[in-house]
Copies of this chain bind each other. A is one copy, B any other.
Amino acid sequence: MATAESILSFDLVHDKIRSCREVPATVGLYGNFRGGERLRNAISRMMERTFMGVEVDPSHICISSGVTAVLDLFFFATCNPGDGCLIPAPYFPAFDNDMSIRNEVIPIPVQPTDTRTYIPTVHEMEEAVLAAESKGIRARMLLVTNPGNPLGTLYPEATLKELLLWAVKRGLHVLSDEIYANSKFGPSVDEFVSMEKVTKNAVMEGLLSAETAAELVHTAYGMSKDFGMNGFRVGCLHTKNKDLLEFWQNMGMFAAVSNDTQHALAIMLEDENFVDKYVKENNRRLKKSYELLTKSFEAANLRYMPACAAMFCWLDLKSLLTEPTFTAEDNLWKEILDECRIVLTPGQACHYAEPGFFRVCYASMAPASLEIACARLTGFAEKKRRKRKSRDGQLDIDTLRTNH
Contacts and interface: CB of A to CB of B under 8 A. Distances in A.
A231 B258 CA distance: 6
B28 A69 contact: no
Contact of A254 (B10, B14, B72, B256): B72
A258 to B, nearest CB: 4
B102 A253 contact: no
Contacts of A10: 25, 28
A3 B231 CA distance: 30
A229 interface: yes
A29 interface: yes
A118 interface: no
B255 A232 contact: no
A229 B102 CA distance: 28
Contact of A28 (B14, B76, B255): B14
B259 A232 contact: yes
B30 A3 contact: yes
Contacts of A134: none
Contacts of A21: 18, 21
Nearest to A22: B18
A65 B28 CA distance: 14
A399 interface: no
A256 B260 CA distance: 14
Interface residues of A, number: 43
Interface string A1-19: 0010101001101100110
A257 interface: yes
B69 A255 contact: yes
A30 B232 contact: no
Interface in A70-110: 72, 76, 101-102
A253 B25 contact: no
A3 B31 CA distance: 12
A287 B31 CA distance: 26
Contacts of A232: 27-28, 258-260
Nearest to A31: B231
Contacts of A13: 28
A14 B25 contact: yes
Contacts of A228: 28
A392 to B, nearest CB: 43
A7 B258 CA distance: 17
Contacts of A28: 7, 10, 13-14, 228-232
Interface string A231-269: 111100000000000000001011111111100100000
B29 A5 contact: yes
A257 B233 CA distance: 7
A345 interface: no
A234 B234 CA distance: 15
A364 to B, nearest CB: 9
A222 interface: no
7 contacts: A14-B27, A18-B21, A66-B253, A69-B255, A101-B251, A232-B258, A258-B261
